[in-house]
């Protein structure tokens, strides 16, 4: 499985935008970029995914670099409820399993 690299932790102020980076230089052409998050004491939760184009949904935006070797998850206005571990995962088109790394622990402060 292609690897992803994320910062161990990030901090944000409430109501501010947050940009969570992910590097995936060995991504293959059929790998989808998925983001999940895990709130404290809960199961992982789907956030967003994309292949080549930028994506928006009600939770977040995903910006994918033109060469696809990196991506950024954007939370437009962080709230305390967004404090979680965020996982960037490459998922081959033909695979259904998710391979989690260590993710980025996001702290949100008032």
Site residues (CB under 8 A) for other proteins? 32, 34, 38, 42-46, 49, 87, 91, 93-102
* Contact criterion met (CB below 8 Å) for 75 and 56: no
* Residue 43 CB, nearest approach to other proteins (Å): 3
Provide the minimum distance between the beta carbon of 37 and other proteins in the complex, in angstroms, as a whole number.
11
Output the smallest distance, CB 74 to other proteins, in A.
Answer: 18
Is the CB of residue 11 less than 8 Å from the CB of residue 83?
no
Q: Are 35 and 18 in contact (CB under 8 A)?
A: no
> Which residue do the tokens 């230089």 mark?
25
Q: Which is nearer to other proteins, 23 or 99 (CB)?
A: 99
* Cα–Cα nearest to 64, from 50, 75, 77, 78: 50
Report the residue number, 49 or 74, with the smaller CB distance to other proteins.
Answer: 49
Q: Are 53 and 82 in contact (CB under 8 A)?
A: no
CB of 5 within 8 A of CB of 100?
no
Decide whether 15 or 45 has the Cβ nearer to other proteins.
45
> Which residue's CB is nearer to other proteins, number 23 or number 38?
38
Q: Please, what is the minimum distance in Å from the beta carbon of residue 110 to other proteins?
A: 27
């Amino acid at each position: 499985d292609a690897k992803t690299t994320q910062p161990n932790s990030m901090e944000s102020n409430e109501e501010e935008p947050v940009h969570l980076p992910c590097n995936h230089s060995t991504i293959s052409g059929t790998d989808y970029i998925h983001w999940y998050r895990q709130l404290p004491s809960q199961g992982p939760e789907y956030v967003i995914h994309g292949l080549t184009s930028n994506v928006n949904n009600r939770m977040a935006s995903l910006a994918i670099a033109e060469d696809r070797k990196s991506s950024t998850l954007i939370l437009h206005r962080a709230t305390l409820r967004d404090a979680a571990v965020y996982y960037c995962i490459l998922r081959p088109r033909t695979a259904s399993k998710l391979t989690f790394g260590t993710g980025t622990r996001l702290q949100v402060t008032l």
